[in-house]
Structure 1
């Protein structure tokens, strides 16, 4: 059974842990917890764990996946991702990147294959290091900054208290979306996730 690589983007360190920009890493924590796994430091400059993504009908185990969070800053995510792809022999078509998305309303999820980076430095770094834009993305909506707030400042702020309550639903939904992508493929997963 082929291994998948699911990477959640964020910045390392406790001061960034609750930032909007770190929602991708939060989803990986959810997936690791579901798989009963602990993320451990990997030589590719990432924290990673091997899990099974849910169970198939009849209780058969699902495909193997490596869930990971780069230990570098967001704009250098590509090196660790390429390192993990090489180490676990995962091609770009089995790479899923979970990241925050300004252009989607808070708590909305969108799935896509390839496309531009939309000014997202983590995606730009991965595209450069992986040598392709054609990898799957789980885009977790964080909404636009209020008023005239700079987007760069907004993504590095923690979720508001009301948003934090929503995270209890959003993170499991995003983890479900990752599992659907692996089990059902992009089109079927989009039909379910985008209908919400």
Structure 2
């Protein structure tokens, strides 16, 4: 499909034999994360992420995040290839996830679970960065958002990051069933 081909270079998954997959190393890491910190050995994060989870959240809230929310996010991400395949199987080419030029008219309809998985990719900084400039696409990974916590814009950035963290707590506690549209 043309819509999938247009967006595939910007997604963190690969197409093999007509099916979407995580690269093997990414899948292995996501599986470990999905089993919790005792298996993954991930109890903190780097740079701005560490500032948020280690210093701005209470110790109990951060522990809950790494033991509950993070594994559920990893399980959601492991389903991303199937969510994308389901999306493309059910979407018309006119509403499928695709790249649109800056002046191109278009409408994209995504299931909320797929939207949550794509946002989780941004949280985990899984979107490829190569080629985004040539395609005139803005940065999508959340590393810059979290690293801004280390600068002087802390209060406003902290509230944005808290909102995002709360969003992930909500969508991993109860799978959203609706749709979102972009025009």
TM-score, normalised on structure 2? Answer: 0.31
Task: Give 1 or 2 for the bigger CA radius of gyration.
Answer: 2
Larger strand proportion of the pair: 1
Q: TM-score, normalised by structure 1?
A: 0.29
